[in-house]
Amino acid sequence: MVAAKAKIPTRDAKERLLDAAICVFARYGFEAASTRMLVREAGVNISAIPYYFGGKDGLYEAVIRQIISIGLSELGPQAEKLRTALARDDLSEAEARQLLHAFITAIAGFLLSGRATLHMAQIIIREQMQPSPVFNILYENMMQPMHHTVTRLIAFLLGVDATTQDAILCTHTVLGQLLIFKTHKEFVLRSSGWTGYGEEETAAIVSRIIRNTDAIIAAHKGYQS
Protein backbone atom coordinates (compact mmCIF):
# COMPACT_ATOMS: atom_id res chain seq x y z
CA MET A 1 0.00 0.00 0.00
CA VAL A 2 2.43 2.66 -1.13
CA ALA A 3 0.84 5.95 -2.10
CA ALA A 4 -2.33 4.79 -3.78
CA LYS A 5 -5.12 7.18 -4.57
CA ALA A 6 -8.65 6.36 -3.43
CA LYS A 7 -9.83 5.61 -6.96
CA ILE A 8 -8.28 2.73 -8.81
CA PRO A 9 -6.51 4.39 -11.72
CA THR A 10 -6.17 1.18 -13.72
CA ARG A 11 -8.64 2.08 -16.43
CA ASP A 12 -10.15 5.38 -17.37
CA ALA A 13 -13.75 6.26 -16.69
CA LYS A 14 -14.83 5.79 -20.28
CA GLU A 15 -13.68 2.19 -20.38
CA ARG A 16 -15.10 1.27 -16.99
CA LEU A 17 -18.42 2.85 -17.88
CA LEU A 18 -18.64 0.86 -21.10
CA ASP A 19 -17.87 -2.41 -19.34
CA ALA A 20 -20.37 -1.80 -16.58
CA ALA A 21 -22.99 -0.71 -19.10
CA ILE A 22 -22.92 -4.07 -20.90
CA CYS A 23 -23.71 -5.72 -17.61
CA VAL A 24 -26.39 -3.27 -16.46
CA PHE A 25 -28.19 -2.97 -19.79
CA ALA A 26 -28.24 -6.76 -20.03
CA ARG A 27 -29.72 -7.20 -16.58
CA TYR A 28 -32.37 -4.49 -16.68
CA GLY A 29 -32.91 -3.57 -20.32
CA PHE A 30 -32.42 -0.12 -21.79
CA GLU A 31 -35.48 1.55 -20.27
CA ALA A 32 -35.18 0.11 -16.79
CA ALA A 33 -31.46 0.79 -16.53
CA SER A 34 -31.02 4.29 -15.14
CA THR A 35 -27.98 6.50 -15.57
CA ARG A 36 -27.57 6.43 -11.79
CA MET A 37 -27.34 2.62 -11.82
CA LEU A 38 -24.82 2.76 -14.64
CA VAL A 39 -22.48 5.21 -12.94
CA ARG A 40 -22.78 3.53 -9.55
CA GLU A 41 -21.80 0.19 -11.09
CA ALA A 42 -18.90 1.76 -12.98
CA GLY A 43 -17.81 3.91 -10.05
CA VAL A 44 -17.76 7.08 -12.12
CA ASN A 45 -19.53 10.39 -11.95
CA ILE A 46 -22.92 10.79 -13.61
CA SER A 47 -21.56 13.49 -15.90
CA ALA A 48 -19.28 10.95 -17.52
CA ILE A 49 -22.19 9.62 -19.58
CA PRO A 50 -23.01 12.81 -21.48
CA TYR A 51 -19.34 13.76 -21.52
CA TYR A 52 -17.99 10.60 -23.15
CA PHE A 53 -21.00 9.21 -24.97
CA GLY A 54 -23.30 12.17 -25.52
CA GLY A 55 -25.99 10.65 -23.30
CA LYS A 56 -27.63 7.41 -22.33
CA ASP A 57 -28.55 6.62 -25.95
CA GLY A 58 -24.96 7.10 -27.07
CA LEU A 59 -23.69 4.83 -24.32
CA TYR A 60 -26.11 2.13 -25.41
CA GLU A 61 -24.97 2.39 -29.01
CA ALA A 62 -21.36 2.14 -27.85
CA VAL A 63 -22.32 -1.04 -25.97
CA ILE A 64 -23.84 -2.48 -29.15
CA ARG A 65 -20.69 -1.72 -31.12
CA GLN A 66 -18.60 -3.28 -28.38
CA ILE A 67 -20.76 -6.40 -28.51
CA ILE A 68 -20.26 -6.69 -32.25
CA SER A 69 -16.52 -6.30 -31.82
CA ILE A 70 -16.31 -8.98 -29.11
CA GLY A 71 -18.76 -11.24 -30.91
CA LEU A 72 -16.79 -11.16 -34.12
CA SER A 73 -13.54 -11.88 -32.32
CA GLU A 74 -15.21 -14.73 -30.44
CA LEU A 75 -17.13 -16.51 -33.20
CA GLY A 76 -15.62 -14.79 -36.24
CA PRO A 77 -12.63 -17.14 -36.70
CA GLN A 78 -14.96 -20.14 -36.44
CA ALA A 79 -17.24 -18.61 -39.07
CA GLU A 80 -14.22 -17.88 -41.26
CA LYS A 81 -13.21 -21.53 -41.11
CA LEU A 82 -16.71 -22.46 -42.22
CA ARG A 83 -16.54 -20.05 -45.16
CA THR A 84 -13.16 -21.41 -46.24
CA ALA A 85 -14.44 -24.96 -46.06
CA LEU A 86 -17.59 -24.08 -48.00
CA ALA A 87 -15.49 -22.50 -50.74
CA ARG A 88 -13.68 -25.78 -51.31
CA ASP A 89 -14.89 -28.13 -54.03
CA ASP A 90 -14.08 -31.32 -52.20
CA LEU A 91 -15.85 -30.69 -48.88
CA SER A 92 -17.18 -34.02 -47.68
CA GLU A 93 -20.45 -34.51 -45.88
CA ALA A 94 -18.69 -35.94 -42.84
CA GLU A 95 -16.43 -32.89 -42.64
CA ALA A 96 -19.39 -30.53 -42.98
CA ARG A 97 -21.22 -32.32 -40.22
CA GLN A 98 -18.16 -32.05 -38.00
CA LEU A 99 -17.97 -28.32 -38.69
CA LEU A 100 -21.64 -27.90 -37.81
CA HIS A 101 -21.17 -29.82 -34.57
CA ALA A 102 -18.22 -27.62 -33.69
CA PHE A 103 -20.18 -24.47 -34.44
CA ILE A 104 -23.15 -25.58 -32.34
CA THR A 105 -20.77 -26.35 -29.48
CA ALA A 106 -19.13 -22.93 -29.83
CA ILE A 107 -22.43 -21.05 -29.82
CA ALA A 108 -23.64 -23.06 -26.83
CA GLY A 109 -20.46 -22.18 -24.97
CA PHE A 110 -20.98 -18.55 -25.85
CA LEU A 111 -24.67 -18.53 -24.90
CA LEU A 112 -24.65 -20.62 -21.76
CA SER A 113 -21.35 -19.72 -20.15
CA GLY A 114 -21.08 -17.55 -17.11
CA ARG A 115 -18.52 -15.30 -18.75
CA ALA A 116 -18.97 -11.70 -19.86
CA THR A 117 -20.37 -12.95 -23.14
CA LEU A 118 -23.44 -13.98 -21.21
CA HIS A 119 -24.52 -10.35 -20.96
CA MET A 120 -23.96 -9.83 -24.65
CA ALA A 121 -26.34 -12.63 -25.54
CA GLN A 122 -29.01 -11.13 -23.31
CA ILE A 123 -28.78 -7.75 -25.02
CA ILE A 124 -28.84 -9.32 -28.49
CA ILE A 125 -31.92 -11.37 -27.67
CA ARG A 126 -33.67 -8.39 -26.14
CA GLU A 127 -32.96 -6.37 -29.28
CA GLN A 128 -34.61 -8.99 -31.39
CA MET A 129 -37.74 -9.19 -29.30
CA GLN A 130 -38.06 -5.43 -29.13
CA PRO A 131 -35.86 -3.84 -31.79
CA SER A 132 -34.51 -0.40 -30.85
CA PRO A 133 -32.95 2.09 -33.27
CA VAL A 134 -29.60 0.29 -33.01
CA PHE A 135 -30.98 -3.08 -34.11
CA ASN A 136 -29.81 -2.50 -37.66
CA ILE A 137 -26.20 -2.11 -36.61
CA LEU A 138 -26.38 -5.40 -34.77
CA TYR A 139 -28.18 -7.21 -37.54
CA GLU A 140 -26.06 -6.14 -40.46
CA ASN A 141 -22.66 -6.42 -38.80
CA MET A 142 -23.07 -9.58 -36.81
CA MET A 143 -26.26 -11.59 -37.01
CA GLN A 144 -26.84 -11.53 -40.74
CA PRO A 145 -23.31 -12.64 -41.78
CA MET A 146 -23.24 -15.29 -39.05
CA HIS A 147 -26.65 -16.66 -39.95
CA HIS A 148 -25.91 -16.67 -43.63
CA THR A 149 -22.79 -18.77 -43.12
CA VAL A 150 -24.65 -21.34 -41.02
CA THR A 151 -27.44 -21.45 -43.57
CA ARG A 152 -24.95 -22.23 -46.32
CA LEU A 153 -23.49 -25.06 -44.25
CA ILE A 154 -26.88 -26.54 -43.46
CA ALA A 155 -28.00 -26.14 -47.07
CA PHE A 156 -24.93 -28.10 -48.13
CA LEU A 157 -25.80 -30.87 -45.71
CA LEU A 158 -29.43 -30.91 -46.82
CA GLY A 159 -28.34 -30.99 -50.43
CA VAL A 160 -30.29 -27.85 -51.34
CA ASP A 161 -29.43 -24.28 -52.27
CA ALA A 162 -28.79 -21.84 -49.42
CA THR A 163 -31.47 -19.49 -50.72
CA THR A 164 -34.29 -22.04 -50.43
CA GLN A 165 -36.96 -21.46 -47.84
CA ASP A 166 -36.35 -24.91 -46.41
CA ALA A 167 -32.67 -24.23 -45.72
CA ILE A 168 -33.47 -20.90 -44.06
CA LEU A 169 -36.24 -22.36 -41.90
CA CYS A 170 -34.13 -25.34 -40.98
CA THR A 171 -31.32 -23.09 -39.80
CA HIS A 172 -33.74 -21.18 -37.61
CA THR A 173 -35.06 -24.37 -36.04
CA VAL A 174 -31.52 -25.51 -35.27
CA LEU A 175 -30.64 -22.14 -33.73
CA GLY A 176 -33.99 -22.16 -31.92
CA GLN A 177 -33.06 -25.35 -30.13
CA LEU A 178 -30.01 -23.57 -28.77
CA LEU A 179 -31.56 -20.24 -27.95
CA ILE A 180 -34.44 -21.64 -25.92
CA PHE A 181 -31.94 -22.60 -23.24
CA LYS A 182 -30.95 -18.95 -22.97
CA THR A 183 -34.30 -17.20 -23.45
CA HIS A 184 -36.22 -19.59 -21.20
CA LYS A 185 -33.45 -20.37 -18.76
CA GLU A 186 -35.66 -19.98 -15.70
CA PHE A 187 -38.14 -22.42 -17.22
CA VAL A 188 -35.47 -24.99 -18.13
CA LEU A 189 -33.88 -24.84 -14.71
CA ARG A 190 -37.16 -25.30 -12.87
CA SER A 191 -38.31 -28.18 -15.05
CA SER A 192 -34.99 -30.00 -14.99
CA GLY A 193 -34.14 -29.35 -11.37
CA TRP A 194 -30.78 -27.89 -12.33
CA THR A 195 -29.33 -24.92 -10.50
CA GLY A 196 -27.42 -23.53 -13.45
CA TYR A 197 -25.61 -24.42 -16.64
CA GLY A 198 -22.38 -26.05 -15.55
CA GLU A 199 -20.09 -28.10 -17.75
CA GLU A 200 -22.18 -31.21 -17.33
CA GLU A 201 -25.47 -29.51 -18.14
CA THR A 202 -24.05 -27.69 -21.15
CA ALA A 203 -22.65 -30.97 -22.45
CA ALA A 204 -26.04 -32.65 -22.09
CA ILE A 205 -27.73 -29.83 -23.99
CA VAL A 206 -25.14 -29.79 -26.77
CA SER A 207 -25.29 -33.55 -27.09
CA ARG A 208 -29.06 -33.48 -27.41
CA ILE A 209 -29.04 -30.71 -30.03
CA ILE A 210 -26.32 -32.35 -32.11
CA ARG A 211 -28.22 -35.64 -32.12
CA ASN A 212 -31.40 -33.79 -33.13
CA THR A 213 -29.64 -31.90 -35.88
CA ASP A 214 -28.10 -35.04 -37.32
CA ALA A 215 -31.51 -36.70 -37.25
CA ILE A 216 -33.12 -33.77 -39.04
CA ILE A 217 -30.48 -33.79 -41.76
CA ALA A 218 -30.60 -37.57 -42.17
CA ALA A 219 -34.38 -37.55 -42.42
CA HIS A 220 -34.32 -34.83 -45.03
CA LYS A 221 -31.93 -36.79 -47.19
CA GLY A 222 -34.03 -39.91 -46.76
CA TYR A 223 -37.16 -37.95 -47.60
CA GLN A 224 -35.60 -36.61 -50.80
CA SER A 225 -34.28 -39.87 -52.18
Partner DNA sequence: GTCTATAGTCGGATAGAC
Partner DNA sequence: GTCTATCCGACTATAGAC
Give CA–CA dist 133/127, Å, rounded: 9
Q: Which CB atom, from 42 or from 82, has the smaller least distance to DNA?
A: 42
Contact call for residues 92 and 212 (beta carbons, < 8 A): no
Contact call for residue 224 and its own copies (CB under 8 A): no
Stretch that binds its own copies, among 1-9, 68-76, 83-91, 185-193 (CB under 8 A): 185-193
Nearer to its own copies, 62 or 205 (CB): 205
| Contacts with DNA, residue ranges (CB under 7 A) | 7, 12-14, 33-37, 44-51, 55-57
Distance CA(158)–CA(145), nearest Å, equals 20
> Smaller CB distance to DNA: residue 53 or 110?
53
In contact, 49 and 92? CB cutoff 8 Å: no
Find the binder of its own copies among 108, 181, 197, 202 (CB under 8 A): 181
Q: Is 151 in the site for its own copies (CB under 8 A)?
A: yes
Number of residues that this document lists for the chain: 225
CB 49 within 8 A of CB 56: yes
To DNA, the closest distance from the beta carbon of 2 in angstroms equals 22
Q: Which does 21 bind (CB under 5 to 8 A by kind): DNA, its own copies, none?
A: none
Helices and strands in the chain, H and E counts: 11, 0
CA distance 72 to 142: 7
Q: Which does 81 bind (CB under 5 to 8 A by kind): DNA, its own copies, none?
A: none
Q: Are 90 and 156 in contact (CB under 8 A)?
A: no
Write the burial class of residue 82 (CB in 10 Å: 0-12 exposed, 13-18 middle, 19+ buried).
buried
216 binds, among DNA, its own copies, none (CB under 5 to 8 A by kind): its own copies
Binding status of residue 208 toward its own copies by CB under 8 A: yes
Neighbours of 211 (CB within 10 A): 10
By three-state DSSP, how is residue 86 classified? helix
Q: Which residues sit at the interface with its own copies, rule CB under 8 A? A: 28-29, 31-32, 122, 125-126, 128-131, 135, 139, 143-144, 147-148, 151, 165-166, 168-170, 172-173, 175-181, 183-188, 190-192, 204-205, 208-209, 211-212, 214-216, 218-220, 223
